[in-house]
């Protein structure tokens, strides 16, 4: 799990640095600065990027940068020629605040996984399957919107812990987890640029992993 922390931080820092460096691009001797606020508003929680057409350049320049554009989840591309996108978007984050929220969520759920004696291999299986499951539901609910972030995997871990808390009749814990899921889903519904499809898909996938875990335990 420490490796997961390191990977999340290192890849996100590289991604953020590459995008930040690309803000002031020079094309044919002309400088086209892209404000930091555009980067934040367009990348936070997987919001679709704002494309900018630069005079003299035929292609569309995206404020997200080449690194993010290569690995973010784009439903149309993931379901056709680039299936790797079903998994790679969880390494990407819109900005340091987005990364901090996800790492904080991750840090709060890890003690519960240890409490339920979740093996390390199972942790990786739950997280991976939940990322994929979240992206699948996102592609159904929002087929035109790209997404970045690890929220699907994190909701999967939450769903796994919620199922086990229900199974072992830890009522206080299960109520707390249900409140956490509910608040996040309500916020995702009210706020723009947040993929509730990925959250719900991850939650369901994590719950299904919990069912199999209990069945074969």
- Give catalytic residue positions: 151, 199
> What's the Cα-to-Cα distance from 134 to each of 51, 73, 111, 153, rounded to whole Å?
26, 11, 23, 7
Contact present, 137 and 119 (Cβ < 8 Å): no
Q: Is 132 exposed, middle or buried (0-12, 13-18, 19+ CB in 10 A)?
A: buried
The pair of structure tokens assigned to 18 is 């590459």
Alpha helices by DSSP H, the chain: 2-21, 36-43, 65-71, 75-78, 85-88, 96-115, 120-141, 151-167, 171-190, 196-216
| Closest to 177 measured CA to CA, from 160, 194, 190 | 160
Q: What is the DSSP letter of 118?
A: -
């Amino acid at each position: 799990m420490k490796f997961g922390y390191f990977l999340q931080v290192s890849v996100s820092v590289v991604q953020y640095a590459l995008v930040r460096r690309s803000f002031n691009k020079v094309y044919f001797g002309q400088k086209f600065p892209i404000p930091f606020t555009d980067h934040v508003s367009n990348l936070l929680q997987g919001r679709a990027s704002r494309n900018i057409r630069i005079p003299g350049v035929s292609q569309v320049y995206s404020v997200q940068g080449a690194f993010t554009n290569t690995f973010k989840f784009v439903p149309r591309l993931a379901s056709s020629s680039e299936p790797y996108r079903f998994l790679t978007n969880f390494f990407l984050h819109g900005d340091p605040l987005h990364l901090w929220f996800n790492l904080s969520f991750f840090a709060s759920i890890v003690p519960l996984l240890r409490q339920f004696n979740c093996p390390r291999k199972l942790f990786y299986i739950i997280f991976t399957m939940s990322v994929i499951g979240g992206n699948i539901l996102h592609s159904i609910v929002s087929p035109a919107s790209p997404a970045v972030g690890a929220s699907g995997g994190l909701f999967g871990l939450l769903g796994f812990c919620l199922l086990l808390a229900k199974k072992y009749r830890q009522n206080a814990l299960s109520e707390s987890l249900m409140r956490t899921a509910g608040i996040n889903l309500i916020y995702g519904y009210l706020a723009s640029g947040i993929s509730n499809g990925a959250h719900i898909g991850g939650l369901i996938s994590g719950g299904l992993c919990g069912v199999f875990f209990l069945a074969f335990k």
